[in-house]
Amino acid sequence: MIVQEWIEGSDQAIYFCLQYWGREQQPLASFVGRKLRSWPPRVGGTASCVAAPEDAPEVEKLTNNFFTKTGFLGMGSMEYKKDARTGRFVMIEPTVGRTDFQEEVATLNGVNIPAVAHRYESGESLDRVPRPVRPTAWVVSQLERWAREMQPEDGANIPQDVRHYDAIRRMDDPAPWLFMLAERLEDRLATWRKR
């Protein structure tokens, strides 16, 4: 059993810092984002998220300090919740050795962390550490819809000036949607066969 303090605040108060650290003990790529909605609400994974440049310096500093002290290398991230009572960022969950579910939000905003890791590990030069260049949101539309229906009062909408990309349904990459559709059909056939 794990006991963890409950941090006051909505899903919009959840921030994450996605990073890749090289052997020199420094982040070669870093991106700070913020959830808009989670599924299930208040305790689940990312349903939608955006870049959070306004809070990036503080969140990156906290993450860099922790990763430096632990001797961290490779792909990882840290999740925080901004306490509604104090305004303080509280560390709630590390992810190490792999990308996060919402990792693509960094790439959509111009920081392709897996590409940086590949170039570094392949011995290719890294001209510069990429920084976010365009405001873009990442959305799992079905989870976003369910979360919005369950908590319509929270007002967590994608800002008007921010484009958004669906994580599953895209014309330029239909494979995830087709795979999800095939899984649903398979589940329905299995249910039908049991009857």
Query: Does the structure show a pLDDT above 80 at 15?
Result: yes
Query: Does the structure show a pLDDT above 70 at 84?
Result: yes
Q: Which one, of 92, 76, 104, 2, lies nearest residue 42 by Cα?
A: 92
The confidence band for 132, taking pLDDT boundaries of 50, 70 and 90, is low
Write out pLDDT tens, residues 119-130.
Answer: 999 998 887 666
CA 113 centroid distance within chain: 12
Token digits for 86? 């104090």
Those residues with Cβ within 8 angstroms of residue 171's Cβ, 6 or more apart along the chain or in another chain = none
* CATH architecture type of domain 11-167: 2-Layer Sandwich (3.30)
Contact 6, 81 (CB under 8 A): no
Work out the mean pLDDT of the chain and round it to a whole number.
88
Q: What is the pTM of this model?
A: 0.84
Domain boundaries, the chain: 11-167
Cis peptide upstream of residue 40 (ω within 30 degrees of 0)? yes
Contact 68, 45 (CB under 8 A): no
Query: Does the structure show a pLDDT above 90 at 35?
Result: yes
Q: Measured between alpha carbons, how far is 195 from 192 in angstroms, rounded to an integer?
A: 5
Pairing of strands 14-21, 27-39: antiparallel
